[in-house]
């Protein structure tokens, strides 16, 4: 399945969809559409093992226990690069979706390749796989890069099987297994070329009372917003490191212009796309009044 897309960019060609808040890939709060052809399930590695869910499969229980969810909120600046021009972002040309880093470096446009070369210097090497996601998007004020502004963490342990259905859901995120499991969570490096649509990261530890298994990020988002913890917007052209216990969210664009976003994921999970999502991966989400 295709993991990169090469295409010319223009303001007129920027794809726009209505903002619904329902989620889109990163920070998703809804099930993804079923693929046309089911791929063979990848082996379950410790990093993605829904250990909490295992306890429910042996009983007829339908209620889900709560726990104290402690988010360490790792956020580190690892490199600062020159801020690119708008013309350089628009002309870069190639975007990625779960693309192995060696292939991404080989296929990338000049700006993204410079980012990937720097990211590669900061890869820890503690995980089996290194993947690249990227987007080139043109924003107007109020546009959002994904169809959600919920606080969330990346790399959740997601289950979609009969055990989940018996609990009354289509999917569940095993938050207890992610935050308390013995395996190191996935680790990420993130870059964005400008500050006019900057990801917001929580930078202080946060403790919340959550169900062990959650169907979406709605309640988590409400609690974090009510708590209003210390947070920071990612600076332009800076590469930051975070992990699967780091709360962050998308923010609506404050100005007009292009943005390159690149994420490098280190994980023990082998990812093989079973459906092509990269064609819509650079979508911009817009509301009549602007998202908040």
User: What CATH number is associated with residue 84?
Assistant: 2.60.120
Compute the distance between CA of residue 202 and CA of residue 94 in angstroms, rounded to an integer.
30
What pLDDT is attached to residue 27?
45
Compute the distance between CA of residue 224 and CA of residue 246 in angstroms, rounded to an integer.
12
pTM score, whole prediction: 0.92
- Whether 228 maps to a domain, the answer reads yes
What pLDDT is attached to residue 46?
96
Owning domain of residue 206: 4-32+41-56+65-286
pLDDT tens for the chain, 292 residues long, are 889 999 999 999 999 999 998 875 444 445 555 444 445 566 789 999 999 999 887 777 789 999 999 999 999 999 999 999 999 999 999 999 999 999 999 999 999 999 999 999 999 999 999 999 999 999 999 999 999 999 999 999 999 999 999 999 999 999 999 999 999 999 999 999 999 999 999 999 999 999 999 999 999 999 999 999 999 999 999 999 999 999 999 999 999 999 999 999 999 999 988 777 777 788 999 986 654 4
CA angle 124/52/250 to nearest 5° reads 55
What pLDDT is attached to residue 98?
95
- Whether 178 maps to a domain, the answer reads yes
Question: Which residues on neighbouring strands pair with residue 96, listed in sequence order?
Answer: 4
Domain count, the chain: 1
Backbone φ and ψ for 70, nearest 5 degrees, come out as -105, 115
CA 268 and chain centroid, separation: 16
- Whether 292 maps to a domain, the answer reads no
- Whether 102 maps to a domain, the answer reads yes
Evaluate the CA torsion angle 151, 156, 161, 163 in order and state its sign: negative
């Amino acid at each position: 399945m295709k993991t990169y897309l090469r295409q010319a960019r223009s303001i007129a060609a920027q794809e726009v969809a209505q903002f619904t808040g329902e989620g889109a890939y990163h920070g998703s709060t809804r099930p993804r559409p079923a693929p046309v052809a089911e791929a063979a399930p990848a082996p379950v590695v410790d990093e993605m093992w829904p250990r909490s869910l295992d306890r429910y499969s042996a009983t007829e229980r339908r209620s889900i226990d709560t726990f104290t969810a402690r988010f360490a909120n790792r956020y580190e600046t690892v490199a600062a690069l020159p801020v690119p021009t708008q013309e350089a972002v628009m002309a870069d040309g190639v975007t990625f979706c779960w693309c192995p880093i060696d292939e991404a470096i080989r296929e990338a446009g000049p700006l993204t390749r410079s980012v990937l070369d720097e990211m590669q210097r900061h890869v820890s090497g503690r995980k089996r796989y290194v993947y690249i996601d990227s987007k080139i998007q043109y924003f107007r004020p109020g546009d959002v890069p994904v169809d959600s502004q919920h606080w969330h963490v990346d790399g959740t342990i997601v289950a979609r099987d009969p055990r989940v259905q018996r609990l009354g859901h289509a999917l569940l995120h095993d938050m207890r297994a992610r935050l308390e499991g013995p395996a190191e969570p996935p680790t990420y490096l993130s870059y964005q070329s400008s500050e006019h649509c900057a990801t917001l990261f929580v930078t202080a530890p946060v403790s919340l009372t959550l169900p062990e298994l959650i169907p979406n990020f709605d309640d988590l988002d409400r609690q974090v917003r009510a708590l209003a913890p210390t947070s920071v917007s990612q600076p332009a052209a800076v590469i930051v490191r975070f992990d699967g216990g780091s709360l962050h969210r998308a923010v609506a664009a404050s100005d007009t212009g292009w943005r390159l976003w690149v994420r490098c994921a280190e994980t023990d999970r082998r990812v093989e796309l079973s459906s092509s999502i990269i064609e819509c991966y650079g979508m911009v989400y817009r509301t009549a009044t602007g998202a908040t």
